[in-house]
Every structure is written in C-alpha cells, then in structure tokens.
Structure 1
Amino acid sequence: MAAASAALAQQYNIQSWSLEQGLPQSQITAIQQDHKGFLWLATRAGLSRFNGVEFKTYTKEDGLSSHNITTLFLDSQRRLWIGTTDAGLLLFTGAGFRQYGEAQGLTAKAVRAISEDNKGRLWLATNQGMYSLTDGNIVKYKSIPNIAYTAVSHTNAGKMLAGSEENGLYSLYLGKVTNFTTENSELTNNYITALLSDKSGNTWVGTAAGLAQMGLNSLSKVQLPAHLAHSHISSFAKDNYNNLWIGLQRNGLLKYNGKAFTHLTRRSGLRTNRITALATDTENNLWIGTNGYGLQQYKSPWFVHFFDFPGITEPRVTALAQDESGGIWLATDEGDVAKMQKQTPAWVQQPWPRGTTVYSLKPTEQGLWVCSSNGIWKIAAQDVTHFTFPDRVTSPDIYQSIATPAGELYFATAAGVATIADDTLRLLESPVNPIKANTIYLDSKGSIWVGADKGIFSIQEGELVQMFSGSQLAEVGSITEDKQGNLYFAAFNQGLFMLQGNQTKLYTLEDGLPNEAIKSIFADAADNLWVATNRDVLKIQLPSLRQEGKFTYRTYASYNGFRGLEICDNAIIQSKDGSIWFGTTKGLTQYIPHLDRQNTKPSSVMLTDVMLYSRPTNWQELGYQMDSLTSLPKNLRLPHTQNHLSFNFHAVCLSGQDQVRYKYRLAGYEDSWSPASSRSFTTYANLLPGTYTFELIAQNNDGYWTPRPLSYTFSIVPPIWRREWFIGVLLVVIAGAILSVVHLRERNLVKMNTVLEMKVDHRTRLLERKNREKEILLQEIHHRVKNNLQIVMSMLNLQARHVPDPAAKDVMQALRSRVRSMALLHERLYRHNDLEQINLEDYFLEVCESLYAAFGISMNRIMLEMDIPEIKVDVDTAITLGLIVNELVSNTLKYAFSPEDQGMLRIVLTQHDEVQYTLTVSDNGRGLPENFYQQQQQGSSFGLRLVQSLSKKLEGHINFYNNHGTKSTLYFVLPS
C-alpha cells in the first residue's frame, strides 16, 4: 500500500468584516465591548460601534478630537475611555466626547494603554511617563522613571505592572518597585508590547521578541513554538475556556491552553497574519483586529474543518471509517482514499479508475475493504482484489458492507443484498423484487438489518426477510443503534423509525421531529442521536426521546459553526477521543464535544428609534428633551393628532445576529405578545388617548430569552374637550347652571306650593265637611232602616199573638229572626265610624246571641264556638252571610237538640286564597232527618231554598252532611 502525505490545513469558524460591510477603515488598533454588548473598534478613520449587523462611526464631526486612537478601556463604572497618539485622553459620554488634556494635568499627548486599580483609579501609560486619574484630576506618577510606557495592568492582589518601550517591565507592589529587563531576568526583549493579568494572579507579558509570564515575585520565559520563538506580540485575550490568545504582529494567532499551542494563520481561515488587537466578548467569541484587513470573529470552536485538500478541488467526502488503532480513514466521490495522521491525510494510491465514487470503507486486520461505484475492492499489504458481479450487467454500485462474527460478508448494493461466493458477488433472493439496498447494519445482538427503497429487511439464515411490512416505509437509507440496544432507521421524507424492544414508532413532524428529510443517522457514545438532514445537523438527546417521546435537540448549521453544507450518506463516525467526524459535500468536519457551549448570555435589547408616521423624527425640534444614554425623547407626550408611532429596535447577539428573534407588545393597547419574529421594527397606528408602554424581549442564537423586557412609556394626550381639567371646568359650569335653574325653580315651586297648600286646605275643609255630612246622613239612613225593621218585628210579634196555628207562628218567628239579623247589621253600621265594612266575627256573634235569646236557649246548655278570622266585608255580602247563618243556626237550635240535651254549636270560616272561602256550621245533635235529602230535592223547605238562593248570590254552593250531628258547608267567593 503506497502512500503520499500532504499538509492539510485546519480551518476554523472565522468571519470577516471589512470596508464592504461598513467598517470605516481596515486597520483596527483596539477592541472593547461595553456593558450593552456593543463592540467598539478603534480605527484610523474614527471610533466605530458595531452591533452585530452594522457599524456606527464617530469622527471629528461628532466631537472626536483625533482619529489616531491607540487604546480603548471600559472602567468599573461602565465608562468608555479612549487613548489617542496626539490628543491625550477622551471620555465617551453617550452623547459626545469629553477631552482630558493639560487643563486636567495631562501634559502627554500619546496615551498608549489604560488600566484601573482596585480603588477605582485610572492609570495611563503615555509617551511621557505614567499618570493616574482620580475624580477628573490627572497626576503624574513619579515612583517610576519618566519614560515612554506602552502597557499597564493591575492584578487582583493590587500589583501594578508597567511595560516600557526600552526599559523592560516595572512591577509596583506594596510600595516596592522592581524593574525586569533582559539583563536581570528571562524577559525576551525590553520592548514591552502587551500586558494581561488573569484571575489567577499571573500576568502575561508580550514583547517585541517573545512571551513571558509574571508570577507573584518572579518572571519566566514561555517558550513559543520553534518557528515563532521570537515573534512580535501585539495583543492578548483570555477566553472562558481559560485559553490564552496571543496576537502576533506578522505571524497570525496563537492559542495556548497551558500545555500546548495551536497556530492559526491564513490557511486556518484568517484573512491576514498581521494581528493588531484581540478581545473576547461576553458570548465567548474571539474578536481579531488586523492591520489592513478589517475585523474578524472566531466563534464555535467545537467545529474544525478540513476543506482544502491539496490537488483536490471541491472535495466531497463520501466515506469515513475508523480502524482498530483509532485512525480515521476518508474517501471522496472521485476515488481518493486517505488515513488521517496527526490531522494530516496520508493518501493511498488507488487501484480503481479515477472518478470512481467510494461509498464506504471498512478497515480490517487483513486489509481495507472499499465499497464503490465500481464494485468491491480489498486492499491488502501485498495485493489488491476486485469483486464484481459475474454477469457485469447488474449495477456495480456497492454502498456498504458488514462482516459477521463467523466471517460472512454481506453487501448493500443497488440491486439488493449480495454476498461473496467463489470470489464473486451473488445476490440473495428477495421477497420483493427488485430492491435497492441503501445500507446494511450488524447490531449488538448479531442481527443483520437492511435499509432499502422498499422498507426494512433482515437476513435470517442466509435469506432476506421483509420486516414491519405494515409500516409502509420506503427509502430507508441509514441505520444505527444506541447504548441500550434500540434501533433507529432513517426513512427519507417519512421520518425517524424506532425499534424499542418489540415496540415500533415512526416519529414525524407531528411528533416534534423538526425535519423528515433524514439522510443519515448516528448514535454516539454520549447517548446522542446525530441526524443529518438536507439542510442541517441535529443532535437529539436520546434519553428524553426514549422515555417521553420528546425531541430535545440542538441544531447545527452555518450560523453556529457547521459549515460543511450537506452530509454525505452514512458518512458519520465517532473517534476514540469522542470527536464526531462528518463527511460533507465541502470536505471533512470534526466536532469536538468538550468545547461545545451554548450561548446562555441573553441578548442586550435596546430601542434605537421612535418615529412619527414611519418617518425619521427630530424630537428636539418638537421641543422634547433627549435622553443621553438612549437617544430617545424623555417624557414623550403626544397630541391626539400624532398617534401613529413606529419603533425600531435591536438586540446585540454577536454569536449569531441573524438568529435573533423578537417579541413585543404595547401595554395599554394589547395584552398578548407578538409572535417571535426576526423583524426589528413595528408600527402602531390610530392610538387612542392614554398611557402606553412598549415592551420588548429578544431571543439569542441558542434560544435564550431576555429575562426582563425593555420598556418605554409614552402618552397620547386627549383633545382639549377630553382632558380632565377641561371636563372638570365644564362640569363646574354645567353644575352652576343646573344649580341656578334649580334654585330658580325651587323659588317658583315654593310660591306654587304655598298657593296650592292654601287651595288644598280650603278644598280639604270643604270635603271634610261634606264627608261628615255624608256620614251623618248615612248613619241617619241606617238608623231609620233599623227602626223600620224594628217596627216590622213589632208588627210580626203582635200578629203572632193572635195566630192560633202553631205552624203559622213558626213562620212568623222565622220571619222575625230574619228581619232581626238585618236590623242588627244596620244597627252596627250607624253605631260605628266605618260605614262600609262589617267585621264578620262580631256580626255573627250578635246574630247568634239574638237567636239564642229568641229561642230561650242558654249558651251554657248549647255551647257556641266560633273560629272566624279577622275579615271585613261590604254590607251586601254581610247581609247575605248573616241570613245564611241565621237560617242554619235557627235550624240547629230548633231541631238538633232535645230540651234536656247538652250540645255544641260550631261556626268556622276558612280562607283558602284571596277570594275563596268555606263557611262551616256544625253541631253534635241528632243529625238530619231521614227524609232530608228528599225534601231538599222537592224544595218543600223554604229555609233550604233561601239558603241555596243566597249561596248562588255568593257564587257558591252549600252541602249538608250527617257526621255525628249536622254539618253544613258553604263554599263561596268574596269579591276582591
């Protein structure tokens, strides 16, 4: 096996910005991130602020006194300080710049570096000595020589280090000054170019000819790679992974992890090797300032790319494999095969024709098995064997191979599943013909699975058997197995098919699978399922999928480091160090898991502009005071005619600005948040008068939302006729008018009431007099009627004395009792004030007493019980009821008892509702005669006829019963 080696450059995720993207000038001298997330860049054309999308540049027209900026520094109070070569020190106030010069005590013109001690004092390294700044006053520091200084730094312990241009390094600690030079220490050069103090208390010292490290009391040399040993160091940066980044003036970039160096150059993705400034942001991206090539960003260190293969244009890595020693093998669609040796490919001389596509590789102890578009090749140490179909008609495309523990070989081919017999390929018979076997897989239990264009098959006892025929799967192109023995099948444009024990499940978009166009799948040792789709790569957490059927995943695409475009079929493997390797249409990509970090830093959101009617608005011309920090109008109160507002906003996410999503709402106008969108503006039209608060949140590139919304409150002032004070005045006026009218009305009413009272009083006296006269007249009438009835009774008495017939006497006596009952009624009327209503209880009692007296019966012998409610009736009703009671009581006293009998007479009046009543007259005497009902039908008794006639007058009827005596029940209705 012959091999030739060629260096292969590792390419990293490095993005560039230059003049074409809006950078004002291509030479970056300093980089600093502020607390809002903005990146500040010092260029030779002014100070530029970068928000991840665009640059805003401040020049002399904006108050910047010089474009020759050497350094930038953000102090503990979040103030941005600017050092220049010819204008001293500047402070950015948010709205402009404040200059510090001779008036404040700074006589030097060139400020090369700025640092802050633990007391909040600023220290300035200048071309004329060291200065300190406290409360706006600048004082020269005289404890060290008055020479040109290039760098200054402070450690957490309070030590100050000052780097000079010619005299090496000065250390000031606890009042002691120590000077380190090439003569008395391991300092590589007396020209100090950069200083960086880390959290551990060490200070990294960059010189014009190498690197040193300053400990608590000693300085030691750090040996750079041999070819970079005397490099001019321009800058330092420290990332969150505790890596030290070293910018070299002409030799690119070094990453030092404490043990080894990684060198990045133009071949690694840098646009130039001339590095002038370095900085890391809060999202752990590295920013690189260059000399003449603008700004670069290094992010997503977990992906390393190998795209530039010597002699190969547009390398398409179609096959990957790992041998028993951990070596990585790769092949391309043009037939190139290589083994990676220390990140460098060793290319194998291929025996097949140029242009043969290699689909898969299988390294074994006996040699390398190659499945290709030109059959199967076995490359051993001494010879090469080629296997094809004997008829040469069957398609020679061989995609994958497996070897059983027994040494049997099986191959997935475009014509089905094949095996080797007598050094030739032989197809297994298939239950479904024809089939295209895309992949073949040997699981941990020794079962062989085949993914084909017509579903899933298994090889059992040398025969091909179709599995899960009811699932209707098609175009199964990849198979993998997780740590627990569960199998996964990729069905292109159908989803992910899982075999868990005896249970199967097809996951689709409806189940949360983000993409059904799955080309390849691979389960790694960390229990993740890698899913390659036609657009991106997914890393799915298998525990949550197995236990809950829930997809928890992270997507990798170009925006977060995966630049390989599309992964080739079944070109994913995991090396022994845990790295995942991808063969892509652009080359080879390595994923390093322990470097993978999610950006948990929420994006810093800000409102960039408020506009009227979607046009730029000069709020100062409209009389509003501007906020120097936000550049927005303060206390915005708009008239009702200016109720069309637009809001422009932005969230700084330097890791992936194009992935930022926004949600917003206008409190007071709507309660719900808007759907997540990449749009960074919104408009609200025809707002009603009121107070509103615009609220904004943003999601960064990894899905983290800002915890608290940004808010901006403003008011739409109602028109004058709807303002509170106007309404109040109007209400006062209306109330005054109403009170005046009411007062006038009251005066008129008082006069009218006085007149009316006089008239009413006069009329009342007339009516009272007439009413009194009427009452006297009625009483006189009732008195005369009563007297007349008394005369009738007297005449009946006289006549009865001369009537010998007993029957006639009884008639005369009955007539007298009836007349007396009427006379009693009229007597009650003229004796009482109420001339219209009769109390029945009193009236019935008087009738009964009169009858008891007429028949000479004592109430001690025949007791009288009455149960009459408090009811008053008119005169006609009272006469009718009185006559009925008179007849019934008379019959009882006459016929019910013998002269010696003791008995009881009971009169009960029962009210059923407002108009219906029952009158019951009962006794406990001898009862009704035997021929009573016959007499009743014949009408021979005048008394019975009278009672029935009177009952009809009351819209009632009367019934008679024998019930241990006589019981007469009258049902009647009183008028309401």
Structure 2
Amino acid sequence: MHCLRAILFLCLLLTTAVGAAQQYNIRSWTLEQGLPQSQVMAIQQDHEGFLWLATRAGLSRFNGTDFTTYTKEEGLSSHNISTLFLDSRHRLWVGTTDAGLLLFNGVSFQPYGQEQGVGAKAVRGITEDKAGKLWLATDNGVYSLAREGMLKYASLPDLNYTAVTATPTGELWAGTADNGLYRVKGSQTTHFTAGNSELPSNHITALSVSKSHEVWIGTAKGLAQAEQTTLSRVQLPQHLDSSRITSFTSDHYNNLWVGLQRNGLLKYNGDSFTHITRNGGLRTNRITALSTDKEGNVWIGTNGYGLQQHMAPWFVHFFEFPNLTEPRVTAIAQDRNGTLWLGTDEGELAKMEQHNLTWLSRKPWPQGTTVYSFLPTPEALWACTSNGVWRLAQQTTTHYSTAEGLPSLDVYQATAGPDGQLYLATGGGVAVLQGSTFRLLPSPEGTLKANSILRDSKGRIWAGGDKGIFRVERGQVVQPPELQGLHLTEVRSITEDKKGVLYFAAFNTGILMLQGTKATLVTAAEGLPSEAVKSVYADSADNLWVATSRNVLKARLPALRQEGAFNHRSYSGPSGFRGMEVCDNAMLQTQEAVWFGTTKGLTKYLPGLDRRNKVPPRLTLTEVLLYSRPTDWEALGYAYDSLTGLPVNLRLPHTQNHLAFNFQGICLSAPEQVKYKYRLVGYEDAWSPVTSRSFSTYANLSPGTYTFELMGQNNDGYWTPQPLTYTFSIVPPIWRREWFIGVLLVVIAGTILSVVRLRERSLVKMNSLLELKVNHRTRLLERQNREKEILLQEIHHRVKNNLQIVISLLNLQARHVEDPSAQEVMKALRSRVRSMSLLHERLYQHSNLEHINLEDYFIEICESLYASYGVSMDRIALELDVPDIKVDVDSAITLGLIVNELVSNTLKYAFQEGEHGVLRIELIRHDEVQYTLTVSDNGRGLPEDFFLKQQKGQSFGLKLVQSLSKKLEGNIRFYNNNGTKSILYFVLPS
C-alpha cells in the first residue's frame, strides 16, 4: 500500500488533471431522419408499439425507422399540440393549446369542443382514473368525460390548469399555472401552495404517479413529492435546485427520470441523482418531454434538437477527452488501491479514481510509445510497451530494454511466476527477469513471437504466440504434449475461468478450451459467430468475454464446458457497445463493472443493469401489392380496411396472381436487427430462412386459398409467439369454378340422360321391329320345319313301304325255293331288311327324326326275329339292359343290323328244339364316345371248329358283322363260356 501511495504521489507530481464525462447510449432523430419538426412537445406509445410524437408541424407516428405525419390536411385542427394520452380502450387523445381536444381513431380526428361540453381552448393535461373516466386539465377548469359529453368538475375552481393525474388509490391531483396544487379524494379537497407547504413554486409544470403511489410534482422552481397528505420538497443537486421541470417518466429499473427545461436530465434511483447533459450524450440540455416504451427505452423530446432515445444503460462510455483525439485504449488494469490505469497506443497514461478520469500530462516513456498492458504488483506497476518494459515504483521509474537482455523491445504482456520472478511475452520470445537483467527462455521451436502470457491457478506459466501454445517447464518453453498436433498459429490471448479451465484465442481459427488434458477447439460449428478472435476474458460470473474484429461476445461458460455449445449474446453498436473494436488483452473486471479498452476510448459494462429485451417485435403488414407495384385497392373496387389500407377478404381473378407483401416488425430498441421468417400456406409448408428482408413476393399462384404467415425476432432473439396472418384467394377461371363445373356436370348428365333415353326409345323401337321380324322368321322356320318333318316322315314312310315290298318279294320268292339252305338265306335276308324297315317305321311315327332310342329299337328287332323264327319269349327269355341313349340314323341302322345278326344266330343255333334259355343284350357307356355292346346266351355255345373256320373263312353273317363294326370304329370278339358271348367295342360320335 505504501508503494501504491508513492506511485499516486509520483503521478500527481507529473500530471495535470483533465476530466472526462461518462457518455450514455443515446441515439437521435432530427429533420434529416424524417422528423417533421425539431420541437417534440409530447411522446406516447400506443398498443401496437408505434411511438406518437407531438411536434409543432403536426402529429407524427414513428415505427423506429420511418415517420408518418398527420397535419391539418389529414384533419388535425391545430399543430400546437401540448399533450398526448392513450386510454385503456387504446384511443389516442390529443390536447392542443388553441383548438381544444381531439380524438384520433386511426384514420380521422374527432374534435371535442363546445358542442361536446369542452369550453376551453388549451388542454395541457389528460389522465384516466381507476374507473376508466377521462380527466382534462384546461385553461378554464378540470373536465371529465361522461356518456353525455364533457362535464366541468365542480369540486375544483375555474383556474388555468397545467397538469392532472389520478392515483390507483382514487385520488385526483391537479396543478395550476399560478395557484399551486389541488388534491381531491372523495369529497375532500386539499390545496397546496408555496405558502402553506414545501411546494417550490405555485406554477405546476408536470405530475406523475410512481408504482408505489407517490406523486411527483414538477414546478417552475424545483421538485416535490407527495405521499398521502404530506408534501415535501426534494433537494436536487445544488446548481439544479431551482430548475424548471418539464416532464417525468419511470424506467424498468424503478428510476425516476426528470426532464429539465434548460439543464438536461436527472435520473433518480431513490438515493441519489445522476445528471445527464450534453457531455453525457444529449444533443441539447433543453428537455420538453419524456416517455418509456414497453422495451424499457427512455425517449426524450427536446426543444429544437428533435427526438432522442436512451437505451442499453448497461454500457457507459468515456470517449471524449480534451486535448485527445481518438484515444485508443490499449491497456487497462486496476491496482490494489482500486485505481484504474489506462494506456493508449500513443503513449497516453491515465488513472480513474471515484469515477473521475485523469490523464497524465507527463509520461515516463517517449511520446508515441504504445502501451500494450499493465501488471500491478505489490511493489510496483509494470507497463509493457513497444519500447520495452517500465517499472514505476516509489518515485522512481526503471526502464528495461534490449540492453538489459530483452529479446525484443515489443513487450506485450507480463505475469508473475510462482517463484516471484517476472515473465514477459515479447516479440522475440518468452523472457524472465533475473536480478536486473532478462534471460530469453530457449524453445525447441526456435525463435518465436509471444503475444500473451498467463500464470494459471496451478502455478504453470502459459504463453501464446505465432507458432501455437507453449508452457514454461524446467527453464525452457515447450509445447505441451496434450496440445501437440493442433497446429495453431497467432494465439493472441489466454484466460482462465474459476473452474481452472484455460481458454486460448487463436485468431482466424477459434477458441481452444483446455480442460485438464482434454483440448476442444470451438469454431463456427459450435456456434462461434466469428473465428477472428482477438482476446478472451473469463469473469467472476462464469462468463467468457470474446473480442472479435466486429463486436464483443458474452458466452455462458457452464454450457460451453459441459455441452461444447457456444451460447452467447452479441454486443455491438445497436445493442449499446459503441466502442467499435476491443484492443488486444484490454478487458478487465472490477467489483462494479467489466471494462473494455476500445479503439474509441473506454467502455464500462454494468452487469446488474443488463436485461434482455423480451418484448417480441410488433408485426404489421404495411402493403399488399399487385405485381410489386403500389396498388390502389379502392380504385380497383376492392373493400379495404381504412386503418391499414389493406384489402379485406381479397379475392383476385386468376389473371392477377402475382402478389408482394411488405411488412415490418416494430422493435424500438434495435429496428435494424429485426429478423423475419414467413411462408405462404397453401403454396409451401416450410418457413423461409431467417432474413432481415422486410418483403416477400409470390408469382404465378394457382387458383386457391392462401394464408401469408409472418414471424418476427427482436434484437435479443425473442420471436413473436403467434404468426401474423393474412388470408386471400385466387379465383379460378369460370371453367374451373365449382358452380360452373357443377352446372357443366348437370348439363353433361342431362345430355347423357337424354341420349340414353333417346337410345332407349330407339332400342325399344328396334327391339319391337326385331321381335316382329323374329316372330315372322320363327313362324316361317316353324312352318319349314314342319314341312321338313312331314317330308322326312313321308320319305321314311316310303322307304319303309319300299322295304316292306322287298320283304314281300322275298317272301314270294321263298315260297318257290325248295332248297333248305336257300330258304335259310332268304330268311336271313328278310330279317335284315326287316330291321331296317323297323327303323324307318319308327322315324316316321315319331316327332324326333334325328335320334333313335336304342332300347325301343332293339326290342322291336328282337320281337320281329322271335316271330320270324317261331320262338316264344317264354322259352327263350329276352333280357335287355340298354341305357337311355339316342343315336343318329346311320349309327342306329349299323347297330340294328349287328344286333339282328347276333340275335338271329342265337335263335337259330344256341338252343335245341323245345329247350329253354336266356338271351341277353347289354349296352355299356364308358365315356362320351366309347361304348360296349354285349349279346350273350346260355345255350350250347359255339361249335368246336368255330374259331378254325373263322380263320379259314367266315360266313356271310359274320363278315357282315365285322364290316359293320369297322364302320363304328370298333371290333367284335366272340367268347365260348357257358354259352355264346359276342362283345362289340365301338365309338359313337358325341
């Protein structure tokens, strides 16, 4: 501590103090950005997220980027607007100084004047009580809005009122221009003046109610506060105690903001005031209006300098310093006394004590020397510079250069080893201080450039350089075995977290995380947005700060250590980090803040104030365009919403199928960081890639119903919970419409039905004609068939008669034949002719002239033969087993002649005179065409020489049977077995 006092004493001797004010994140909009006029008298945010501004050139609506202004041409009765108020029904009320009260419905202005009960020209204050009743402070009294109109409030005198507010407890407060303040609760009215209370002035300029129901009172000469019935003056900073107060607002940190007419802003945290003026970032100290939006930004209306926004209070900057231009803070450190030390690339040296920054006019090193880093030790402050290393202690300054053994004059960083020795990262390698000289530590890699050096919690010395990562072991610089094979280059920064994990910044490669012996390279694949990492710093809250070429990142280390995921938050200009680029190893954490040395100066980060913007952007569809051109939907005959100008229930013909959508997400914190994704349901199912583009075009849409869906993301990554939707239809051409198709189907069905009916009638008519023709032809065929049958019957009858004549001739001839053998031949011949005659007799006596029933035919043949040979069926019984088979005439004649021969032989030779026996005829059907005919008897059988005679030469009868068998594609066999058995195998056509 004695050393630190000595250093401080040395610096005081060498310096002249030059202060630098804190600068806040304040953005401005003036005429150049579209603001219609530079005087902003009132500010109010509506439920859609738009900011309404009262200017001397009309009422302007602001979406964070563009201004839309309403003037007398749009129905505004006066440009002298004094106050704005949005009630619980989302109606915007406009109070003027010379035209009374107006209500804006989004399209037009409705005046409230004498006809509505307002007998005043100037309306300077508007409020709403807990019952939803509207109250006005006017130049001739206080009015309330009832169903029947405005009514003057009789409990207060007719005075010139300047402000009015209602508390949640039911109190009404009204301030006057020169008669103090009134409080009304129920039937009791209390009057406060400068004479009977601590009210600073009888001219009340502003009233506001805090969340704790305190009433803040602004006057022309200071600030007061009222709690219940007690009113007390609030002491402002000395030089501001009698300032004229113009407006109030409360932010999301429970701070009260007070606007002063000529002296800037005051922020009151309940204990002390912070004064913000032009030196702190305001463009002017003339404040006219204040308001806080839903995202927590404080909006500031000024007199003559437009609109300003105070955002991201967690960053405070020190950029502007007298006698210094573009101070590039390259080194930052805090000694044990709490003093903050700064160094720049031009050799400037500064210290900060109690938020007061002092630049030293005399430096120990030559002008232009770059200060790379500081190392505070109990004995001294070491400064690593481009001109060696400097030790500042006890009114003495010691300079070490190459003459003292430094391998290079560029000394980037220093650390104290476990042995108390000083280790340096230099342009020529790693050096260690031994006594009063430095020694270069040898390296197996040869000459290397060491950019950074760190002693970890285990006492190990790590160095990062142009050839990778090294560790000091046994007096030399070696590459650790666990990191071999990584081939890292340009390692510029090293840090260690509270878990003992080391992080190395490898420029254009990523971040190497070393957990024990496990090395993990974090790149874009793990979520690192930029691999151009310059510096890393682990703070006590377990965050890893990463400085890149574009911004600074804050990543949560637990997720990185456990999951390897680089979950981070990015800080850049729009999010409050205005330092542009962090210098190498110029990050430091103190008890209250994290400090960054940047290319623009010094930036302080207050983690306790850092809050994410959880308010998603308010999405609005601004335009629906045909063919990407401005479209007047009213002129085209479409119904449209008068508030938005968008067509309602849009149904377009199929020829107008090219639509474009313009949209916007209102995010007042960072409108330029709003991201979108969208899709057209009915055309595509997938969402578009996330984009900052605020329009979408769809061409050649097919007929159908579509819904455009839009999602928005704010600057901190919060998406709208539900998509904005807009539904429209492309009407198909007439030939594709449902009703037309229905009518067409009905017509087609009717046509088909008519054709069918005509066809049916034609078919019925044709069928009738065909039936007549068929009946006629049928009758002709029947007649022809009858004639044919008669003719056939006649033919068969004649044939039968002719055969009878032949039989008669044979009988006559037989009478003159005496030779017994000749008579026998004649008898056989007669029986054969008789069998054929029987067949023709059956044909002409029956209706079926094509088929003969064999059973009946065989019976008639047998009866004729029995009669011819004089054999009775009592002596030789006839057994007939013939199925019901009908055959054609040719086959019947052939079978009849065969049966005739076989039966004749049986009757002649099988039995002796008077002998009894059995004659059997059997016909068996094997399939559709094959048959077997068996004629058998139980007589004396075939003679012994039958088969011998058959070989030498057959009788005529047997020859006839053999010939007839071949005609039937068959053959006959004779068997002598207890009689004679003749079996004929033959085929009949199917």
- TM category (shorter chain) comes to 0.7 to 0.9
Answer yes or no: is the 8 Å Cα contact 1:156–1:199 preserved in 2.
no
| TM-fit CA distance, 1:11 | 0.6
Counterpart amino acid of residue 743 in structure 1: R
Distance (whole Å) between structure 2 residues aligned to residue 431 and residue 775 of structure 1: 133
Structure 2 unmatched runs, 5+: 1-6, 797-841, 855-884, 896-924, 932-965, 971-988
Aligned Cα root-mean-square deviation (Å): 5.1
CA distance in 1, matches of 2:384, 2:786: 134
CA contact (8 A) 1:50 1:56 kept: yes
User: Is the Cα contact below 8 Å between 2:404 and 2:436 reproduced in 1?
Assistant: no
- Among 124, 128, 138, which residue is 1:116 paired with? 128
Report the number of matched residues: 881
Amino acid at match of 2:580: L
Q: CA deviation at 1:620?
A: 2.0
Q: Does residue 1:455 correspond to 2:474, yes or no?
A: no
SS of alignment partner, residue 119 of structure 1: coil
Identity across aligned pairs (percent)?
Answer: 63
- Identify the residue that residue 262 of structure 1 maps to in structure 2: 274
Q: CA offsets per residue over residues 879-906 of structure 1, 9 Å max, x none?
A: 9xx9xxxxxxxxxxxxxxxxxxxxxxxx
The 5 Å alignment of 1:483-882 reads 483-577=498-592, 579-764=593-778
Give the corresponding residue for 1:233.
245
- Does the aligned pair in 2 maintain the 1:438–1:450 contact within 8 Å? yes
Conserved? CA contact 2:404–2:438, under 8 Å: no
Match of 2:205 in 1: 193
Instruction: Give the TM-score normalised by structure 2.
Output: 0.79
Following TM superposition, by how much is the alpha carbon of 1:832 offset from its aligned partner in structure 2, in angstroms? 14
Asked if structure 1 preserves the Cα contact closer than 8 Å seen for 2:218 and 2:245, the reply is yes
- Contact kept? 1:326, 1:576, Cα under 8 Å: no
Q: 1:480 aligns with which of 485, 495, 518?
A: 495
2:486 aligned with 1:471, yes or no?
Answer: yes
Gap change, CA 1:773 and 1:11, over 3 Å in 2 = farther
8 Å CA contact 2:421–2:434 kept in 1: the answer is no
User: What does the per-residue CA deviation read over 1:933-952, in whole Å, with 9 as the maximum and x for residues that have no partner?
Assistant: xxxxxxxxxxxxxxxx99x9
Q: Secondary structure at the match of 2:48?
A: coil
Paired AA for residue 413 in structure 2: Q
**Which of 347, 352, 368 is equivalent to 2:365?**
352
Amino acid at match of 1:399: Y
Q: Contact 1:369 / 1:378 at 8 angstroms: preserved in 2?
A: yes
Distance 1:751 1:455, change over 3 A: same
Comparing 718-727 and 640-649, the one that deviates more:
718-727
Q: Does residue 243 of structure 1 match 2:246?
A: no
CA apart distance, 1:834: 15
**Does structure 1 retain, via aligned residues, the 8 Å contact 2:405–2:437?**
no
In 2, Cα distance between equivalents of 1:388 and 1:421: 14
SS of the equivalent of 2:408 reads coil
2:447 pairs with one of 409, 434, 441: 434
SS at match of 1:547: helix
Over residues 196-233 of structure 1, what are the superposed CA-to-partner deviations in whole Å (9 max), with x where a residue is unaligned? Answer: 11222111111111111111221122221222111111
AA partner of residue 56 (structure 1) = T
Structure 2 residue 328 is matched with structure 1 residue 313: no
Within 2, Cα distance between the matches of 1:201 and 1:775? 130
1:373 counterpart residue number: 386
Q: Which moved more, 1:223-232 or 1:104-113?
A: 223-232
Alignment partner of 2:178: what SS?
Answer: coil
How big is each residue's C-alpha offset from its partner over 1:494-532, in whole Å with a ceiling of 9 and x where there is no partner? 111111122111122223221110000011111111111
Deviations 1:336-386 (A, max 9, x none): 222211111244542111111111101122110111111111100231111
Pairs within 5 Å for 1:5-20: 5-20=17-32
- Say whether 1:133 aligns with 2:148: no
Superposed displacement of residue 734, structure 1: 4.3
- Separation in 2 of the partners of 1:765 and 1:553? 107
Q: Match of 1:813?
A: none
1:29 lines up with 2:44 in the alignment: no
Q: Distance in 2 between matches of 1:186 and 1:172?
A: 19
Instruction: Please report how far the alpha carbon of residue 614 of structure 1 lies from its aligned counterpart in structure 2 after TM superposition.
Output: 2.4
Tell me how far apart the structure 2 counterparts of residues 481 and 111 of structure 1 sit (CA, whole Å).
62
Q: Deviations over 1:764-814 (max 9, x none)?
A: 5666788999999999999xxxxxxxxxxxxxxxxxxxxxxxxxxxxxxxx
**Among 230, 253, 259, the residue aligned to 2:265:** 253
What are the residue-to-residue correspondences of 1:74-473 with 2, within 5 Å? 74-135=86-147, 137-348=149-360, 349-390=362-403, 394-467=407-480, 468-473=483-488
**1:698–1:705 CA contact under 8 A, matched in 2:** yes
Offset, 1:326: 3.5
Q: How does 1:890-909 map to 2 (within 5 A)?
A: none
- The CA deviation at 1:723 is 3.6
Is the alpha carbon distance of 1:108 and 1:832 closer, same or farther for their aligned partners in structure 2, counting shifts above 3 Å?
farther
SS at match of 1:498: strand
Cα offsets for 1:412-450 (capped at 9, x unmatched): 000000011241222111111220001011111111111
Shift of 1:742: 3.6
How far has the Cα of 1:128 moved from its partner? 0.6
Instruction: Report the 3-state secondary structure (helix = DSSP H, G, I; strand = E; otherwise coil) of the residue aligned with 1:760.
Output: helix
Say if 1:835 and 1:509 are closer, same or farther in 2 by CA, change over 3 A.
farther
Contact 1:389-1:426 at 8 Å conserved across structures: no
In 2, Cα distance between the equivalents of 1:453 and 1:780? 135
- Partner of 1:559, secondary structure, is coil
- CA–CA separation in structure 1 for the residues paired with 2:471 and 2:887: 111
C-alpha contact 2:451 2:463 (8 A) present in aligned 1: yes
Q: CA deviation at 1:465?
A: 0.9
Q: Deviations over 1:524-567 (max 9, x none)?
A: 11111111111111111111112111121111111101110111
C-alpha distance 764-661 of structure 1, shift in aligned 2 (>3 A): farther
Task: Give the Cα separation in 2 of the matches to 1:126 and 1:137.
Answer: 16
Secondary structure (helix, strand or coil) at the match of 1:470 reads coil
Q: TM-score, normalised by structure 1?
A: 0.80
CA distance in 2, matches of 1:835, 1:587: 131
Offset at 1:685? Answer: 2.6
Supply the distance in 2 between the matched residues of 1:575 and 1:527 (Cα, whole angstroms): 14
Name the SS for the 2:690 alignment partner.
coil
- Report the AA paired with residue 408 of structure 2: S
Q: Give the distance between the partners of 2:492 and 2:230, measured in 1 at CA.
A: 62
* SS of aligned partner of 1:744: helix
Q: Contact 2:19 / 2:359 at 8 angstroms: preserved in 1?
A: no
2:589 partner amino acid:
Q
- Local SS of the residue matching 1:190: coil
Given that 1:390 and 1:425 are in contact with CA atoms closer than 8 Å, whether structure 2 keeps it comes out as no
Deviations for 1:576-626, whole angstroms, at most 9, x for unmatched residues? 23x211111111111111111111111111111222232222222222333
Tell me how far apart the structure 2 counterparts of residues 412 and 347 of structure 1 sit (CA, whole Å).
27
In the TM superposition, residue 147 of structure 1 has moved relative to its aligned partner by 0.3
SS class of match (1:107): coil
Larger Rg over CA atoms: 2
Q: Can you give the 5+ residue segments of structure 1 that lack an aligned partner in the other structure?
A: 783-826, 837-842, 844-871, 883-906, 910-918, 920-948, 954-973
Contact 2:333/2:375 (<8 A) preserved: yes
Instruction: Report the residue type matching 2:189 in the other structure.
Output: V
Give secondary structure in 1 for the equivalent of 2:24: coil
CA apart distance, 1:709: 1.7
